[in-house]
Structure 1
Amino acid sequence: MAIFEIPLDIPDVEIENVELTKKRDIIITVMSTVEGTHCHKCGREISKSYGHGKMIKLRHLSILGMNVYIHIRPVRYQCTHCDGKPVTTQTLNWYNPRSPHTKVYDEHVLLEMVNSTVEDVSIKEGLGYEAVMGILHRYIDTEVSWDEIKRLDVMGLDEISLKKGHGDFVTIVTSRVAGKTTILAVLKGRTKETVKKFLSIIPKRLNKTVKAVCSDMYEGYTNAAAEVFGKDVKIVVDRFHVAKLYRNDLDGLRKKEIKRLKKELSEEEFKKLKNVMWILRKDVDELTDEKLEVLKCLFRHSPILELAYKLCNDLTDIFEDDISKSVATCRINDWKKKVKESGLKCFNRFISTLDKYMDKITNYFINRQTSGFVEGLNNKIKVIKRRCYGILNIKHLFQRIYLDLEGYSLYA
């Protein structure tokens, strides 16, 4: 039989024996090459040998589809400095005394969990569900470690519901630095007090690095951020939340017009307006010739809808242009004037919202900050919830979000 060698990749040991069991498991027995340890009581270096502890059996990385186990009897050392001469068992740095696995195997399991589930990894690795959860709890904190963060730059505040239709909201707090999104917190509830309490515990060195806070128009978030960070940090109402509002108004007009046209047009003519809802949500430049014909047909029958559609696109163009806050404010005011002169009533509620939040909305134009990264993360969280059959424990949800965001860079 051909034989090949691969490195064990475990430091400070010598291999004493290698055994292939009937179950096709590989048992590798090793011994420590490190002399001495530190007393668990006084912390001094000790070197007086006091025999060996019980055999430790540790799961290691598989080889050629076969499970590998490392067996080691750790050396025990007696302290001659402390009263009672206590004995300390040597621990090598490639395993954790609380884990039945080598550290590199634990990290392999964590890597397998990225974009997967505890149950799936449990089946693939032949581990119990609790064993996989144990690895997660040993390595992934349930809250942010501020020591690992150098700066925050742009923060995002948004909400998700843990249970669809039940209004069981949590607040997702994130930061965006150099194109990288970091999860900072999953907070129970969405009250101003809850958010303010968390923002207030951000270390001063990081507080100074915050340039902007992005959120929707929910005042619980915007007011909490304003009270904690003051005037030096811009509160930005996300442009995509703004767009959603005026496009909802356009959609409301569409529903009214379609209802009218269904009564007034022949069945054959009305069929030509198929899928207009989706067509109206796109810019003209994105439409195929076929879809353009549908749009033209719709506008022939509903000039008011054409006017509202053009006004929506005009406002979108303002947000797309690279202009200053002051120029943007002037152009948005001109847009409001056009709406008023048009006689359209569908945008009335949106314009009231625009007037109320104009300063925060136009803060977008200072550095063109959006909370698009927050929405992107929310989509990822929805996938996590579906994949894991719903997660109601916010500490566990934080762990899973953190692992999906950081897992590849930490363990790949």
Structure 2
Amino acid sequence: MKRILTQLLNLPEVVVESSIEEDLILFLTVSKKAKSAVCPQCGKKSEHLHQNQKYLVKDLPMGDFEVILNVNRRRFKCKICRKTFNEELDFVGARKGYTHRYAENIVKQLINSNISNVAKNNGLTDEEVNSMLEDIAKNVLPIDVSNLKRLGIDEISLVKGQGKFIVVLVDIDSGKLIGLVKERKQIEIENVMKKWGKEVLEQIEEVSMDLTGNYKNLVHKICPNALVTVDRFHVTKIIHEELNQARIAEKKTASSLNVELREKVFDSLKGNKYTILKAEENLTEKQKEKLDIIREASPLIGMMHSLKEEFRNLFDRSEDLGAGMLGLIDWLKKAEPYYQKSVKTIKRWFGEVVGYFERKTTNGVVEGINNKLKLIKRSGFGFRNFRNFEIRALLSWHYNINLAR
């Protein structure tokens, strides 16, 4: 029976010495197979048992049985240096009431839930679950950024409707989250990035960001060799926003037209936001028919749509910096009467926008990470504790629960 339980327990170099069943709880007294331990002071093996120290540790369940290990962490005395020491137990941390794999299982549950639910489902307190989360995090944090070359910076809302944003830092080449900053203040971002060390900051070649303007000066300040580029996604986004605002304005203007024209314009524009924003080549036949109706009913929207498509094609087809820059200059001249706000913003960020044509860096990976962060946030029913959210987010990219010990 002890041999079978030892096999079922499946802890390397650990044997079950005895067992007791009580109210669906299985108590297993366990110890290491080895009769000796290595002295941490002098590195010599010792078989001189000084003391037995037993304590209870929670482990993964076996079927319907909760498993509690009565662990014997033996204390030895070294005959060489005369020091006493505790043997190393790979499966449980010092002064911890649970095994490593039990903590990993709890953290795995947290990916799709929240601390309170996980604690309740496992008969734990919120504090115990939080402690396990912190323990697992010690294996991962701080994140290794020694190979960071291209950095993506973006932001998401942590608490919806409260204007509370956090900054997201991403290694574009690895496609992984490498940091979160609890506020958009430059000093907060600077403090987080400086922890990476001067050598890492100096090796960063490119930083891709949106058009907020809050981070450009900071990057120039602490990443002296980095080229700042603006992702085409964010440039396209401001053009889409201005086009949609024009669509809404056209609907309002239609009210002053005669009944026939008013209905024609209003009906063509109503509910067709994505018809005019979606890439024309990806439209269905029905959507293309709607687009033709929109162009006929509103020449303004028709022209703005054509300019939007021209802008997209410019970024898709430009093969080098020179061609892209000349194409963008030409587009800005034609678009200025129609996209005044967008043109003004692009001109202000011209150098950073054309940087895309040279390096073709896209923030698509950052957007993907942002979407995953939002899922983590929703699964936790929102996070008011930034540290809790930060750990869970970083573990999602840097801790493989299936490969953990």
Q: What does the per-residue CA deviation read over 1:116-147, in whole Å, with 9 as the maximum and x for residues that have no partner?
A: 3223322333332222111101121499525x
Please state if 1:97 is matched with 2:85. no
Q: Which amino acid aligns with 2:87?
A: Q
Native 8 Å contact 1:299 1:306 kept in 2: yes
Tell me: CA distance 1:149–1:194, structure 2 relative to 1, closer, same or farther (3 Å). closer
CA separation of 1:212 and 1:9: change in aligned 2, threshold 3 A: same
1:162-177 counterparts in 2 under 5 A?
162-177=158-173
Q: For 1:268 and 1:348, how far apart are their aligned partners in 2?
A: 28
Greater shift in the superposed pair: 33-42 or 293-302: 33-42
Structure 1 residues 1-29: Cα deviation after superposition (integer angstroms, max 9, x where no partner): xx9774432123322123333x2222222
Quick one: which of 302, 307, 310 aligns to 1:306?
Answer: 302
Residue aligning to 1:182? 177
Distance 1:50-1:409 versus aligned 2 partners, 3 A rule: closer
Contact 2:246/2:301, CA 8 A, preserved across alignment:
yes
For the 8 Å contact 1:183–1:401, the answer to whether it is kept is: no
Aligned with 1:69: secondary structure? strand
> How far off its partner does 1:209 sit?
4.1
Query: Which amino acid is the alignment partner of residue 99 of structure 2?
Result: T
Unmatched 5+ stretches in structure 2: none
CA–CA distance in structure 2, aligned partners of residues 293 and 274 of structure 1: 15
Bigger drift between 401-410 and 3-12 goes to 3-12
- In the superposition, the TM-score normalised over structure 1's length comes to 0.86
CA distance in structure 2 between the aligned counterparts of 1:275 and 1:316, rounded to whole angstroms: 23
Q: Look up the match of 1:124.
A: 121
SS of 2:357's equivalent? helix
The answer for the alignment partner of 2:197 in structure 1 is 203
More displaced, 284-293 or 314-323? 284-293
1:401, distance to aligned residue in structure 2 (A): 0.6
Verify the 8 A CA contact 1:272 1:294 in the aligned structure 2: yes
- Counterpart of 1:219 in 2: which secondary structure? coil
Alignment gaps of 5+ in structure 1 = none
1:93 deviates by 1.6
1:257 to 228, 239, 250: 250
2:134 to 129, 132, 137: 137
Which segment drifts farther, 274-283 or 233-242? 274-283
Q: Does the 8 A contact of 1:15 with 1:31 survive in 2?
A: yes
Q: Residue 249 of structure 1 aligns to which amino acid in structure 2?
A: E
Residues in 2 aligned to 1:330 and 1:248: alpha-carbon distance in whole angstroms: 24
Structure 2 counterparts to residues 144-159 of structure 1, below 5 A:
144-146=141-143, 148-159=144-155
Instruction: Return the alpha-carbon distance in structure 2 between the equivalents of residues 368 and 374 of structure 1.
Output: 15
Structure 1 residues 357-383: Cα deviation after superposition (integer angstroms, max 9, x where no partner): 111011112221122222222222222
User: 2:70 aligns to what?
Assistant: 71
* Contact 2:177/2:369 (<8 A) preserved: no
What's the CA shift string for 1:312-346, capped at 9, x where partnerless? 11001111125212211100111122235xxx3x3
Residue aligning to 2:215 = 221
Distance across 2 between alignment mates of 1:411 and 1:125: 23
Relative distance call for 1:141 and 1:156 in structure 2 (3 A) is farther
Name the CA shift for 1:142/1:52 in 2 (closer, same or farther; >3 Å).
closer
Q: Is the 8 A contact 1:114 1:407 kept in 2?
A: no
> In structure 1, what is the equivalent of residue 31 of structure 2?
31
39-48 vs 299-308, greater mean Cα deviation? 39-48
Distance, in Å, in 2 between the alignment partners of 1:143 and 1:28 is 31
- Secondary structure, counterpart of 2:152 in structure 1: strand
CA drift of 1:86 comes to: 6.7
- The change in CA–CA distance for 1:161 and 1:143 in structure 2 (over 3 A counts) is farther
Distance in 1 (alpha carbons) for counterparts of 2:43 and 2:76 = 13
* Identity in percent: 24
Q: Does 1:331 align with 2:327?
A: yes
Cα distance between partner residues in 2 of 1:322 and 1:120: 52
Checking the alignment, whether the CA contact within 8 Å between 2:24 and 2:65 is kept in structure 1 is yes
2:383 to 384, 387, 391: 391
Please give the alpha-carbon distance, in whole angstroms, between the structure 1 residues aligned to 2:229 and 2:20. 63
1:98 corresponds to which letter in structure 2? R
Change (3 A) 1:273 1:233: closer
**1:220 aligned counterpart, secondary structure:** coil
Rounded Cα–Cα distance in structure 1 between residues aligned with 2:191 and 2:131: 30
Q: In the TM superposition, what whole-angstrom CA distance separates every residue of 1:31-66 from its partner, at most 9, and x where no partner exists?
A: 33233446688887654322312x322222222232
Alpha-carbon contact 1:30-1:72 (below 8 Å) kept: yes
Q: 1:409 to 1:335 in 2, by over 3 A?
A: farther
Q: Cα offset for 1:391?
A: 1.7
| Deviates most, 116-125 or 362-371 | 116-125
Residues 262 and 409 from structure 1, CA distance in 2 versus in 1: closer, same or farther, beyond 3 angstroms?
A: farther
* Contact in 1 for aligned 2:233/2:364 (Cα 8 Å): yes
* CA distance in 2 between partners of 1:156 and 1:190 (Å): 15
Offset of residue 211 of structure 1: 2.4
Task: Give how far 1:408 is off.
Answer: 3.5
SS in 2 for 1:162: strand
One-letter amino acid matched to 1:390: G
Q: Which amino acid aligns with 1:9?
A: N
1:112 maps onto 2:109 in alignment:
yes
Return the TM-score normalized by structure 2.
Answer: 0.87
Instruction: Tell me whether 199-208 or 316-325 shows the greater mean CA deviation.
Output: 199-208
CA contact (8 A) 1:192 1:223 kept: no
**Structure 1 residue 70 displacement after superposition:** 1.9
Equivalent residue of 2:382, what SS?
Answer: coil
Change (3 A) 1:210 1:76: same
